[in-house]
Amino acid sequence: MTLVDIKGLDVGYVRHRRVTPAVLGLDLTVAAGEVVAIVGESGSGKTTTANALIGLLPANGRITAGSAVVDGIQTAGASERTLRRLRGSVVGLIPQDPMVGLNPTQRVGHQIAEAVKLRGLAGAAVQAEVLEHLAQAGVPDPELRARQYPHELSGGLRQRALIAIALAGRPKLIIADEPTSALDVTVQKRILDHLGGLVHEQGISLLIITHDLAVAADRADRVVVMQHGRKVEEGDPATILRTPREHYTRQLIAAARPVVPHFDVRDQVAPEPILQLTDVSKTFPVNDLRRGARGFNALDKVSVTVPRGQTHALVGESGCGKTTTLRIALGLETATGGSVVLDGDEISGLSWNRLRPLRRKAQLVHQDPFATLDPKFTVAQSVTEPLVSFRIGDRRSRLQRARELLDQVALPHSYLDRLPSELSGGQRQRVAIARALALRPDLIMLDEPVSALDVLVQEQILQLLADLQAALGLSYLFVSHDLSVVAEIAHTVSVMSHGRVVEQGPVAEVFTNPKSAHTRELIDAIPGRRVVDAA
């Protein structure tokens, strides 16, 4: 039986009295009990499709053509009243970001009870159902959690509370919009497993919206690939992975790389280190009015070595201390203890002025492409700024250098006059890399340089980094939470957890034969089993 039947759906957004199409001529069905995944990059129209289904498009969103029938009810052009009867009771939604998806001033239990009461229940039965749904969603100690406010719960628990809300309406279909992108991989895996089991048990259909082909392939009965608002390919995961018809799908599959280490330096003699951190500790003061000032240990005796001309990666989940390590290595943060040796010079404890000459040796590329460039600086100004800071060359020679740098990151010279607002995310990241190269450094510190980019753009930037390393003999300290990215670019790796290094060694060794339980858990959590099977 078909639960969702979309035919020729066009959705657009009205901007300046013009309709910009977001979804074009989409056909899609979801059968009862089926798990369907829509895969696409940002701007592919996947979230718009989901919102259109339950009439939750933003105020300027319009369905301009086609039909979308959910459980026998036409939702295209339907009145608010009709749509409201669908929401919750027929279609449940798990929104994108669990951190902000719950009302901060209402207790969690109350928010679930609201959904329960809409089914006509009242009195003590409501509370019992609330606890039941929380338990179903995998929340331990539901009585306690129901009484708490969202800010008292972790991200994973909030995600589970949102799942409980979606379950509370007893829907026939649950839409999970990027259900995991805001969470750590291990939490991601546990929640997706749980959600998959739940819908299977209760016979609920599931529509997963994701940018990650691996996630989609692992969990869906059918995968729909979207690009620029159109469906480009559809089929069961095995077929799509083995015999993709479209070039775009092939690119996505290539980008959903399994964790196969690219470099193997197990039997090689490591080159001499360019950067060596020994027993670095960092304590942040935490002001607590009740208990007085006390320290929070962000790093506990971390030792990391970056071999010259190679890439060393720091991996771990959020809050494990990897970014703090990088900032200390760069002298942006001072360590509480330990030593940092950059190219033979001890830099920890150096004043800004003493450190300054050493800055030419190590540069930074930041995670967020939208904040890494000064919005008021043209590309030429951004790229040459380090030269100006170090008073290198004159105007003409700097401009000449800027052209060279753009060549190196494969951007046309005509981009020199552009402002960041005129660049895409990937292009901004290229400019940030060019800026880091300006002083001809030996070492570049990369703080999650690709995690905010779409998968295909990620691939291009990683390729660029590898090419630059080969051409210029650069060393990288690469911080990432994404093991597949690390496998592709790094020679050696340190796995971090709670401010400590739990495992260290060549990527080929650590990833194929993990020694610590934490590393194993991280590797197990990586989606893409079916991708590997299909390969």
Partner 1 sequence: MTRYIVGRIIQAVVVLWAAFTLTFAILYLLPSDPMELQLAAAGIQEDSLAPDQLAAMKQRFGLDQSIWAQYWHHLTGVLHGDFGTSLSQQIPVSDLIGQRIGQTLLLSAAAATVSLVAGSLLAYLATFARWNPLRVFLTRLPALGASFPQFFVALFLIQFFSFQLGWFPALGTEGIQSLVMPVVTISVLTSSVLAQVLIKSFDETLRQPYIVTARAKGLSRSAVHLKHAFRNAALPAMTILGVLVGLTVTSSIVVETVFTREGVGKLAQEAVLAQDVPVVLAVVTIAATMFVLVNLVVDLLYPLLDPRISHTRGRVRPATPEVVTT
Partner 2 sequence: MTVTIADVVTEDAPRPAEEAGGRRANLVANLVQLARKPVFLLATLYVLFVIVSAFRPKLFTSFGPYDTYPESAAQAPSAQHLFGTDIYGRDLWTRVLYGSPLTIKATLIAVGIALVVGLGLGILAGFFGGLIDAVLMRIIDVLLAIPGLLLALSIVTALGYGTIPVAVAVGVAIIPGFARTTRAEVLRVKTLPYVEAARAGGASWGRVLLRHILPNSWGPVAVLAVLDAGVAIIAIASLSFLGFGAAPPAAEWGTLIADGRNYLVTAWWLSLLPGVFVALLVLGLNHISKTLQELTR
Q: Does 452 bind partner 1 (CB under 8 A)?
A: no
The answer to whether 278 and 347 have CB atoms below 8 angstroms apart is no
Q: Does 451 bind partner 2 (CB under 8 A)?
A: no
From the list partner 1, partner 2, none, partner contacted by residue 351 (C-beta under 5 to 8 A by kind): none
Q: Does 165 bind partner 1 (CB under 8 A)?
A: yes
Encoded one letter per residue, x for contact with partner 2 by CB under 8 A and - for no contact, window 321-340 reads ---------x-x--------
Instruction: Encode 46-68: b = buried (16+ Cβ within 10 Å), e = exposed.
Output: bbbbbbbbbbebeeebbbeebeb
Cβ-based nearer residue to partner 2, 91 or 330: 330
Cβ-based nearer residue to partner 2, 389 or 513: 389
From the list partner 1, partner 2, none, partner contacted by residue 149 (C-beta under 5 to 8 A by kind): partner 1
Burial of 403 (0-12, 13-18, 19+ CB in 10 A): middle
Cβ-based nearer residue to partner 1, 106 or 318: 106
All residues at 6 or more sequence positions from 336 whose CB lies less than 8 Å from its CB, including other chains: 281, 282, 283
Query: Min. distance of Cβ 286 from partner 1 in angstroms?
Result: 9
The answer to whether 241 and 198 have CB atoms below 8 angstroms apart is no
Choose, by CB under 8 A, the member of 264, 279, 404, 407 that binds partner 2. Answer: 407
Choose, by CB under 8 A, the member of 40, 169, 261, 449 that binds partner 1. Answer: 169
Cβ-based nearer residue to partner 1, 111 or 210: 111
d(CA 321, CA 299): 6
Taking Cα atoms as reference points, which of 157, 190, 191 lies closest to residue 176?
191
The answer to whether 32 and 172 have CB atoms below 8 angstroms apart is yes
The answer to whether 94 and 88 have CB atoms below 8 angstroms apart is no
Query: Within a 13 Å sphere around the CA of 95, how many CA atoms are in the beta-carbon half?
Result: 14
Q: Specify the residue for token string 């299909």.
A: 534
Q: Does 101 bind partner 1 (CB under 8 A)?
A: yes
Choose, by CB under 8 A, the member of 162, 302, 432, 496 that binds partner 1. Answer: 162
From the list partner 2, partner 1, none, partner contacted by residue 397 (C-beta under 5 to 8 A by kind): none
CA end-to-end span of the chain: 33
Kindly report the backbone phi and psi dihedral angles of residue 297, in degrees, each rounded to the nearest multiple of 5, phi listed first.
-80, 105
Q: Does 293 bind partner 2 (CB under 8 A)?
A: no
Choose, by CB under 8 A, the member of 1, 123, 287, 344 that binds partner 1. Answer: 287
d(CA 385, CA 311): 26
Kindly report the backbone phi and psi dihedral angles of residue 436, in degrees, each rounded to the nearest multiple of 5, phi listed first.
-65, -25
Taking Cα atoms as reference points, which of 388, 386, 341 lies closest to residue 364?
386
Torsion angle, alpha carbons of 75, 78, 79, 80, to 10: 20
Q: Does 287 bind partner 2 (CB under 8 A)?
A: no
Query: Min. distance of Cβ 376 from partner 2 in angstroms?
Result: 5
Query: Min. distance of Cβ 289 from partner 1 in angstroms?
Result: 5
Cβ-based nearer residue to partner 2, 135 or 358: 358
Kindly report the backbone phi and psi dihedral angles of residue 395, in degrees, each rounded to the nearest multiple of 5, phi listed first.
-55, -50
Query: Min. distance of Cβ 290 from partner 1 in angstroms?
Result: 5
Cβ-based nearer residue to partner 2, 241 or 379: 379
All residues at 6 or more sequence positions from 11 whose CB lies less than 8 Å from its CB, including other chains: 21, 22, 23, 45, 48, 49, 52, 57, 61, 62, 63, 64
**Enclosing H/E stretch for 500:** strand 500-506
As a whole number of Å, the CA-based R_g of the chain is 25
Q: Does 415 bind partner 2 (CB under 8 A)?
A: yes
Residues 460-479 touching partner 2, rule: CB under 8 A, are 460, 463-464, 467, 471
β-pair partners for 280: 302
The answer to whether 283 and 336 have CB atoms below 8 angstroms apart is yes
Longest dimension (CA), the chain: 78
Choose, by CB under 8 A, the member of 8, 20, 82, 100 that binds partner 1. Answer: 100
Q: Specify the residue for token string 């209760």.
A: 202
- Reduced to 3 states (helix: H, G, I; strand: E, B; else coil), residue 350 is coil
Choose, by CB under 8 A, the member of 9, 76, 93, 185 that binds partner 1. Answer: 93
Q: Does 84 bind partner 1 (CB under 8 A)?
A: yes
Stretches 55-63, 154-162, 420-428, 476-484: which one binds partner 2 (CB under 8 A)? 420-428
Q: Does 378 bind partner 2 (CB under 8 A)?
A: yes
Q: Does 56 bind partner 1 (CB under 8 A)?
A: yes
- Reduced to 3 states (helix: H, G, I; strand: E, B; else coil), residue 29 is strand
Encoded one letter per residue, x for contact with partner 2 by CB under 8 A and - for no contact, window 43-82 reads x---------------------------------------
β-pair partners for 209: 38, 177
From the list partner 1, partner 2, none, partner contacted by residue 288 (C-beta under 5 to 8 A by kind): partner 1
Q: Does 300 bind partner 1 (CB under 8 A)?
A: no
Cβ-based nearer residue to partner 2, 236 or 467: 467
Q: Does 414 bind partner 2 (CB under 8 A)?
A: yes
Chain residues binding partner 1 by CB under 8 A are 54, 56, 80, 84-89, 91-93, 95-97, 100-106, 111, 114-115, 118, 149, 151, 162, 165-166, 168-169, 287-290
Chain residues binding partner 2 by CB under 8 A are 43, 228, 330, 332, 356, 359-360, 362-364, 366-368, 371-378, 382, 385-386, 389-390, 407-408, 410-412, 414-415, 417-419, 421-427, 430, 432, 435, 438-439, 456-457, 460, 463-464, 467, 471
